[in-house]
């Protein structure tokens, strides 16, 4: 029992990324989704749709002006695609490592185990897409899932600073009082104590809320 109490667990910071199964790999969608799940991802949202050339141009706006841009938008609007929001720890980097480099032909030599080597056929028809960065993922998820609510992820340092400043002092006080009182139902007692002693709770006096200075 003591060993179990002393056991520590790694902290997991969940991240989201956007994944696309492109027209050239759409017939392998179920197989690819199984690989995604086995890699530890959760598929938060999924939809199958066909983009117009205009929508493809908007989605790939950062590639505008490059020689392959017309071919890219024509290819991506030629057939339906599968769009997914994937989540796990370090999702963006992990999904990029699984799908591999952009050029599927070169990837077969340099990264033969990745998904683009297996399902892609060229630099353009490379089967899959993954967000390049957190900000790219945020923009792409909003583009493909307009109603999706995307909350910013606080850094580890910001989270620990918030807990140290705003949570731990009150919680420690509550646990100390819990040990002193030794109630029959400690969970309910502590919950009530935290509600009544919430430092952010508005003070009400004679029916009027007193604002903190």
**Strand ranges in the chain using DSSP code E only, listed in sequence order:** 14-21, 42-49, 81-89, 128-130, 203-205, 208-210
What span, in angstroms and rounded, lies between the C-alpha atoms of 74 and 57?
Answer: 9
168-181 helix and 186-196 helix, angle to the nearest 10 degrees? 130
One of 94, 111, 129, 135 is an active-site residue; which one? 129
Whether residue 135 lies in the annotated active site? no
End-to-end Cα separation, the chain, in angstroms: 48
CA 147 to chain CA centroid, Å, is 15
CA torsion angle for 194, 198, 202, 207 (degrees, to 10)? 30
Please list the helix, strand and coil fractions of the chain in percent, rounded to the nearest 5, in that order: 50, 15, 35
Q: How many CA atoms lie within 13 A of 196 on its CB side?
A: 9
Residue 4 Cα distances to 8, 12, 187, angstroms: 9, 20, 21
Residues acting as catalytic residues: 129
């Amino acid at each position: 029992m003591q060993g179990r109490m002393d056991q520590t667990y790694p902290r997991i910071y969940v991240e989201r990324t956007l994944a696309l199964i492109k027209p050239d790999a759409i017939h392998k969608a179920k197989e690819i989704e199984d690989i995604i799940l086995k890699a530890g991802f959760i598929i938060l949202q999924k939809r199958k749709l066909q983009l117009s050339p205009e929508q493809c141009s908007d989605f790939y706006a950062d590639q505008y002006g490059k020689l392959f841009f017309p071919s890219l938008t024509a290819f991506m609007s030629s057939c339906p695609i599968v769009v997914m929001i994937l989540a796990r720890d370090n999702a963006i980097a992990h999904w990029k490592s699984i799908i591999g480099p952009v050029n599927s032909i070169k990837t077969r030599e340099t990264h033969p185990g990745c998904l683009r080597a297996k399902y892609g056929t060229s630099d353009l028809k490379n089967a899959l897409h993954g967000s390049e960065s957190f900000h790219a993922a945020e923009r792409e998820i909003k583009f493909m899932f307009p109603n999706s609510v995307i909350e910013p992820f606080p850094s580890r340092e910001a989270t620990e600073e918030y807990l140290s400043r705003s949570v731990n002092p009150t919680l420690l006080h509550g646990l100390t009082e819990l040990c002193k009182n030794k109630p029959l139902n400690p969970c309910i007692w502590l919950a009530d104590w935290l509600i009544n002693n919430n430092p952010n709770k508005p003070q009400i006096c004679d029916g009027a809320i007193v604002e903190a200075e």
